[in-house]
Structure 1
Amino acid sequence: MGYEEIETVAAETGFSGVVSIDRAGEVEFARAYGLANRAYQVPNTVDTRFGIASGSKGFTALAVLSLVQDGLLELSTTARSLLGKDLPLIADDVTVEHLLTHTSGIGDYLDEDADGEITDYVVGAVHELTTTEAFLPLLDGHPTKFRAGERFTYCNGGFVVLALLAERASGTGYHELVRERVLRPAGLTRTDFLRSDELPADAAVGYLPMDGVDRTNVFHLPVLATGDGGLHTTAADISAFWRALFAGDIITAVADAVRPRHDVPEESLRYALGFWLHPTTDTILLTGYDAGASFKTLHNPQTATTHTVLSNTSPGAWPIARTFPT
């Protein structure tokens, strides 16, 4: 792949975001495109922080696996043992491992298979969603889709439930739990959960087209999201994250965390514990897609090479990601 292909695709698509390629910490390509804030004409830079939507699920998984490592949870721990009377439609035999592998069968508060557009308003009073417990009304009332362990079906709500279980098992709030057990051990100083209504100057505002104009995503996403999304980060921190993970700085049982659990032929991928995997190689992926955010990172542990694209638009990352090695 020539870097000129990235430049061509970026120009043809009006890409807004950052593309980064590095090998063992040595940056081979890093470039920013477009605007972080369109109202004030603030350009993106290679150090701009972007929302990564479901890319955050890998961080949630590692926080949970860190608790497993310390004996505060087990993969076989049932959700019911910590939920008590909350969310009564979640079956009694659903475990932490089922939730981590999207095989729980629970109904989803944000069903990606349902009809709808990324521009839809889907999560209600977003300004009230600042804690994991605040998501309980959204998670409640969704009937079970299938028996636990029966098959793979991607489930956003399952990772919010994981955040809730992690909080109750550890006695620490989810956001601080991720900071303590993932971000700090990995040395990720530019990665954090940012409120959408008070983004700092170094964070890109998310945009999406509505009614013929580009609007921000502030009313589309939880003001402070939890286990299924919500982190903002930089390309450099993503590369540092992969290095820290495979160095054993976050958890020790890395090989088990990234061991394939399920084939997902409809995505031409496999799935581990919170991470996507290439169908035939050791390459590991995180992806995210939401209103005003798109993200994909691939890491090849054999060559220590990382390809990352972050965008502050919903479709922005995908044409660039198609230039990455498969």
Structure 2
Amino acid sequence: MSLPAPSLADYSGVLSLRRGDAVLGEWAEGLADRTSETPNTVATRFGLASGTKMFTAATVLALVDDGSLSRGTRARDILGGDLPLVAPDVTIDHLLTHTSGIGDYLDEEVDALAPLPIPVQQLDSTPAYLPLLDGHPTKFPAGERFSYCNSGYVLLAVLAERASGSSFAELVETRVFQAAGMTDSGFPRSDHLPPGTATGYRDDGRTNVFALPVVGSGDGGAFSTVADLHRFWEALFAGRILSRTGVDLLITPTTADTGDGLGYGRGVWIDGDDLVMAGGDHGVTAVSRRHAASGTTVTGLANVAVRTFARTRDLMDQVLGRPAAAAAEAVSAD
């Protein structure tokens, strides 16, 4: 298959097209580090922002698979006296499906890029997020409707840690990254990024080091490569991360239309025939979409805020010969 190179005039990152063991096309553009003028390459690691939620959901569902948690487990039964405003009927599944109604420390229905209310350098572990999650009143009764909730996915990380006795980063490493052979993925400190990792840049040219938590948790902060994200999708459908039931739970729509034409499963968006990991924040844009029937993965990772969701869909449409679709506008990746 021969594809023309896509237009990457405003891009700083990598765009990848893979199927099975074949790389059908990969393109790198822009600088991973502007000070040293280090270019992005197809092996560069990028931040995933909310794309991390896909790994969180997979990790929690792996704990459900082995009986450490259940979808009906109530958050209050594990929280004890912490976070008293979390309602008593909120379950693991409400949190996975963004239907919990709990108050959000970063409510994207209000401002997706609002500054954090506490210094980002204090957020260096999942337990350190507890003050950030505290004090937010319930928005609506659990199960009433979909409302994208960052706090819900950090809370999932808290519950997973307490149920398993392992740190959230360790859980994702063993349950997802090692299971999938994702050797270039992890949760590095943003102020001490490993070699080969892109620095995120805000629109004004500054880095994003003061805008995001120094270490990520359940709602964001993982770093990965285009190759590793393809490995994730391959391992998921090969049954190396979850049982068949767990895979079905991850990818089956729980909300048919979240308000922008996209459905949502558990940690995964559904865009027609494509399953989508998507995230966007200061200096981070990440989209990985999988066409399960053909085993095709299209991934776009960037270290700037740039049009990526529609780019990946256009490339998937092109390789599958699908009619071009109108771009969804509300996903935070764009």
Q: TM-score, normalised on structure 2?
A: 0.91
Q: Which residue in the other structure is 2:194 paired with?
A: 200
Q: Which residue in the other structure is 1:290 paired with?
A: 281
- Determine if contact 2:203/2:305 at 8 Å carries over to the other structure: no
Q: Which residue in the other structure is 1:148 paired with?
A: 142
Q: 1:62 aligns with which of 53, 58, 61?
A: 58
Shift of 1:94: 0.1
In structure 2, C-alpha distance between the alignment counterparts of 1:39 and 1:130, rounded to whole Å: 26
Q: Which residue in the other structure is 1:249 paired with?
A: 240
Q: Which residue in the other structure is 1:72 paired with?
A: 68
Pairs within 5 Å for 1:9-48: 10-11=8-9, 13=10, 15-48=11-44
In structure 1, C-alpha distance between the alignment counterparts of 2:111 and 2:261, rounded to whole Å: 22
In structure 2, C-alpha distance between the alignment counterparts of 1:172 and 1:216, rounded to whole Å: 32
- Determine if contact 2:203/2:304 at 8 Å carries over to the other structure: no
Q: Which residue in the other structure is 2:304 paired with?
A: 313
- Determine if contact 1:123/1:222 at 8 Å carries over to the other structure: no
Shift of 1:33: 0.3
Which ranges of structure 1 fall in alignment gaps of 5 or more residues? none
Q: Which residue in the other structure is 1:182 paired with?
A: 176
- Determine if contact 1:167/1:173 at 8 Å carries over to the other structure: yes
Shift of 1:267: 2.0
In structure 2, C-alpha distance between the alignment counterparts of 1:59 and 1:110, rounded to whole Å: 20
Shift of 1:113: 1.4
Q: Which amino acid aligns with 1:277?
A: I
Q: Determine helix, strand or coil for the equivalent of 1:188.
A: coil
- Determine if contact 2:289/2:312 at 8 Å carries over to the other structure: no
- 1:218-274 CA deviation, whole Å, 9 max, x = no partner? 000000010001111000001111000000000112123211111224221111111
CA RMSD of aligned residues (A): 1.6
Q: Which amino acid aligns with 1:176?
A: E
Q: Which residue in the other structure is 1:278 paired with?
A: 271
Shift of 1:29: 0.4
1:269 aligns with 2:262: yes
Given the superposition, is the C-alpha separation of residues 107 and 313 from structure 1 closer, same or farther in structure 2, using an over 3 Å criterion?
A: same
In structure 2, C-alpha distance between the alignment counterparts of 1:149 and 1:139, rounded to whole Å: 20
Q: Determine helix, strand or coil for the equivalent of 2:203.
A: strand
Q: Determine helix, strand or coil for the equivalent of 2:206.
A: strand
Which structure has greater strand proportion? Answer: 1
Deviating more after overlay: 307-316 vs 33-42: 307-316
- Determine if contact 1:258/1:275 at 8 Å carries over to the other structure: yes
In structure 2, C-alpha distance between the alignment counterparts of 1:278 and 1:262, rounded to whole Å: 12
Q: 1:97 aligns with which of 93, 104, 112?
A: 93
Q: 1:259 aligns with which of 231, 252, 262?
A: 252
Q: Determine helix, strand or coil for the equivalent of 1:323.
A: helix
- Determine if contact 1:25/1:240 at 8 Å carries over to the other structure: no
Q: 2:83 aligns with which of 87, 97, 117?
A: 87
Aligned residues: 315
Q: Which residue in the other structure is 1:240 paired with?
A: 231
In structure 2, C-alpha distance between the alignment counterparts of 1:159 and 1:256, rounded to whole Å: 16
- Determine if contact 1:123/1:221 at 8 Å carries over to the other structure: no
1:221 aligns with 2:212: yes
Shift of 1:23: 1.3
Q: Which amino acid aligns with 1:197?
A: D
- Determine if contact 2:91/2:100 at 8 Å carries over to the other structure: yes
Q: Which amino acid aligns with 2:129?
A: F
Q: Which residue in the other structure is 2:322 paired with?
A: none
- 1:147-177 CA deviation, whole Å, 9 max, x = no partner? 0000000001100000000000001010001
Q: Determine helix, strand or coil for the equivalent of 2:18.
A: strand
- Determine if contact 1:20/1:31 at 8 Å carries over to the other structure: yes
Given the superposition, is the C-alpha separation of residues 24 and 123 from structure 1 closer, same or farther in structure 2, using an over 3 Å criterion?
A: farther
Q: Determine helix, strand or coil for the equivalent of 2:314.
A: coil
Pairs within 5 Å for 1:104-119: 104-115=100-111, 118=113
In structure 2, C-alpha distance between the alignment counterparts of 1:27 and 1:237, rounded to whole Å: 13
Q: Which amino acid aligns with 2:270?
A: L
In structure 1, C-alpha distance between the alignment counterparts of 2:70 and 2:22, rounded to whole Å: 37
Structure with higher RCO (Cα < 8 A, 6+ apart): 1
In structure 1, C-alpha distance between the alignment counterparts of 2:61 and 2:116, rounded to whole Å: 30
1:161 aligns with 2:155: yes
Q: Which residue in the other structure is 2:332 paired with?
A: none
Q: Tell me which stretches of 4 or more aligned residues in structure 1 moved more than 2 Å.
A: 1-5, 120-124, 315-326
Which ranges of structure 2 fall in alignment gaps of 5 or more residues? 318-324, 326-334
Q: Determine helix, strand or coil for the equivalent of 2:4.
A: helix
Q: Determine helix, strand or coil for the equivalent of 1:136.
A: helix
Q: Which amino acid aligns with 1:113?
A: E
